[in-house]
Structure 1
């Protein structure tokens, strides 16, 4: 049998380490949305500068379910890592794993709540960079579990003069509006017309608004769709935008149903990281501005670093010993 050789520069194959396990209750207790927004902004800016890496989501389809894996490296946050989540048996289970830059696992985080927070934070980062200053009328289409963090994050970064919300179910729409302090619109058109910022955060496979409802100066955020066969936004809205900003071009090419269904030429899109890094300038007029948010592992890592820091300070979480020898386990 051939002798197993160690990679060059490796003195031992593994060494004991301790990772912190954070459960959903820990995430709920520790999450600081302002800190998450700041971390997501910093990581996205680093991506635009070429100082971070992000790989798009990959999927496999076991019988009756889906396994999704996405991973990234953020040297600015001193971490690398991945998010894996499964869909099956009527449930979705999310797990973020963090490693330090030496490759040692440092955290495992149940990440359902974390995912909603980082998605909302990304919308906030984009809105702050793209929507301009001053009071904003905000329209949110979607009343599900992700929509709440969208509203909270937008309130954290914009001066919201009016919040309108719409969802197909009248009762749920009214309850959601009361929860987030907004006004329940009677229709999607009523929600969107005249709004400065329009966010779609739905699971719809077909467009939930019409381009004619969107005013020329508006920022539109498509945040609900990362499946290429679905689209929340109509093709004519995409083609009439003055600019299309994406979280990452490589990700958008794989996942953006809004852009793919419109036959969009991805060579024309701009990455949000480049906007934050100041390396591109967007046109000031000529139609609405569109931000397509599909979800980056880099955002998960950024949000997770804020939780890990808070957990260490608060003494929360469970320590899990890894890579111990058989003798050490005893």
Structure 2
């Protein structure tokens, strides 16, 4: 796809936003990335993190290689204003892709939409593999970027879900969740809950996607004995991790880096029982009994960004999108 070794194709937010892709395609690409990693054909080193003492910003750098697509990439992510309301924050994330067969650059693209699709797809895969048999209800906590597509992706992997609940306080976010659900699954009813404790007690799956300033915090003793809790952002208390009978993480190493808000007073986290790529590859069991309580940590792996970003780059370049920048001339 690359033109030469001097030019880099840059894909803007607008370029990426105009590309059509189905939710099932996203799930398929993400699942393949996990399986390739579990087979030892991809590389996903631990992310690097920088954060000032007062916590007003956070930056991440992630390097990886997708062995299925033969692509090497670097993702960077920077968010400023973590103590501010969502509309006052600044967030930038980019993905730069290189073809590891030709040695040429593929593209640099805004990674916002990639993350907005990849993360709920991973949560949906976690739910498919780890939810108790016969699960019929899901509760999403939070209406931000990750909350807005959470239910459509859950319905993509678990079409038998019947009750869809949402806990949120931002009118624009609630409206966006409703719009996305109607767009992907017309006619499906969304239940906006006001009693979080009662809703959590009736949910088979609890998906926490809220921002760091949320007041929502689901406790372990609110839950069904067989509940699955998936943590993406905030919205569930540390007790859901510490009292879970089984702990699953997309990456145990990344959970130790980014999951410190769930640690105990000594800064410790419980051991991870199994990593999710091994579950998808059928090398390890996810849920080991029907009545088991499970905590799943979705930190995201750069190999999934690489796979999905490469798919978007393929589609964009086929349409002639983007701007060729003579970066190395």
Query: Corresponding residue for 1:186?
Result: 194
> What SS class does the counterpart of residue 254 from structure 1 fall into?
helix
- 1:255 alignment partner, one of 258, 262, 269: 258
Distance (Å, rounded) in 1 between the aligned partners of 2:311 and 2:126: 20
- Evaluate the alpha carbon distance shift between residue 17 and residue 124 of structure 1 in structure 2; reply closer, same or farther with a 3 A threshold: farther
Is 1:53 aligned to residue 53 of structure 2? no
Q: What's the RMSD between the two structures over aligned residues?
A: 2.6
Q: TM-score, normalised by structure 2?
A: 0.82
Stretch deviating more after TM superposition (136-145 or 15-24): 15-24
Q: Contact 1:242/1:289 (CA < 8 Å) preserved in 2?
A: yes
- 2:292 alignment partner, one of 251, 264, 287: 287
In the TM superposition, 1:76-225 aligns within 5 A as 76-88=68-80, 90-102=89-101, 103-131=103-131, 134=134, 136-159=136-159, 160-169=161-170, 171=171, 175-176=175-176, 178-179=178-179, 180=181, 181-204=189-212, 208-224=217-233
How much has 1:285 moved relative to structure 2?
4.0
The answer for unaligned runs of 5 or more in structure 2 is: 82-88, 182-188
Q: Contact 1:18/1:106 (CA < 8 Å) preserved in 2?
A: no
How much has 1:197 moved relative to structure 2?
1.2
Q: Contact 2:139/2:166 (CA < 8 Å) preserved in 1?
A: yes
Q: How many residues align?
A: 302
- Evaluate the alpha carbon distance shift between residue 210 and residue 117 of structure 1 in structure 2; reply closer, same or farther with a 3 A threshold: same
> What SS class does the counterpart of residue 97 from structure 1 fall into?
strand
- Evaluate the alpha carbon distance shift between residue 197 and residue 65 of structure 1 in structure 2; reply closer, same or farther with a 3 A threshold: closer
> What SS class does the counterpart of residue 321 from structure 2 fall into?
coil
The answer for unaligned runs of 5 or more in structure 1 is: 1-14, 226-231, 325-330
In the TM superposition, 1:4-23 aligns within 5 A as 16-23=5-12
Query: Corresponding residue for 1:27?
Result: 16
> What SS class does the counterpart of residue 217 from structure 2 fall into?
coil
Q: Which structure has the larger Rg over C-alpha atoms?
A: 1
Is 1:276 aligned to residue 298 of structure 2? no
Q: Contact 1:173/1:184 (CA < 8 Å) preserved in 2?
A: no
How much has 1:43 moved relative to structure 2?
0.8
- Evaluate the alpha carbon distance shift between residue 172 and residue 190 of structure 1 in structure 2; reply closer, same or farther with a 3 A threshold: farther
Query: Corresponding residue for 1:327?
Result: none
Structure with bigger strand share is 1
How much has 1:81 moved relative to structure 2?
0.6
How much has 1:186 moved relative to structure 2?
1.3
